[in-house]
Amino acid sequence: MIAPAPFKVAAIQTVSTPNVEENLVTAGTLVEQAAAEGAKLVALPEYFCIMGMRDGDKVAAKEKDGAGPIQDFLAATAARHDVWLVGGSVPLDCGDPHKVRNSCLVYDAAGKRVARYDKIHLFGLELGSERFNESNTIEPGDKPLAVDSPFGRIALSVCYDVRFPELYRALAPVDLILVPSAFTATTGRAHWETLLRARAIENLAWVIAPAQGGRHANGRETHGHTMLVDPWGEIVGERASGPGVVVAEIDPAFQARVRAGLPALSHRTL
């Protein structure tokens, strides 16, 4: 059997603002750059469309499922550049007027939405002066999801999900793992790289992790370090901070060799 040909992917890093229109312009420019560099699968980070001054701002910006300027932007941008496009997270209506679903949306190269994953694990942190509780404004999803694509089987997740390896095990085997994120600077420095490399190694899969990276208008600092990791756990692309694009070539034949030489997925007993 002949392995699929190598292809390029791009992970985009942003420093999103409270202004949705401004963020969509920025995202559009970066997707265009990624496509110009040959990427066929492009992923935007969590909250690429809004990083509000307060948690409730994303609730005010929420859209009905399937309709709204953020979703229209994603569909049109994917079709314009002939790329599969991942909207790292979009605030979608959940029926509760005080909450949203934090939804990762995937569009094919024709601009058709092919997947929606709602973030399952909601971030909570009490560490020194830092306090986060996503459950105040987000309703959790309850269904792990992988989508079949021309690039292989893709596991969808969002940010804090990366701390829960059983999510990916429930979907195994997968070829690529998406982790659009907005890690805090504190937890990112401590755990970001370790978590991403661990998920790549244990699943013998590529990890694509677009991130927020910088100081935001609300004063929050996000860790950045948008990263692409290969199935052996090696970092093949990274951007420390600021808006930009990380592009790398993915070779399915390399993954096949790694899995043949270390068939850990077939050795699972649980």
Active site residues: 46, 119, 159
Q: Which residues contact 202 (CB under 8 A, 6 or more apart)?
A: 165, 168, 264
Distance CA 162, CA 266 (A): 22
Of 148, 212, 219, residue with least CA distance to 179: 212
Question: By the 8 A CB rule, do 151 and 250 touch?
Answer: yes
Of 98, 103, 127, residue with least CA distance to 115: 103
Q: Which residues contact 70 (CB under 8 A, 6 or more apart)?
A: 20, 24, 49, 61, 63, 87, 90
Structure tokens at 196: 């991403």
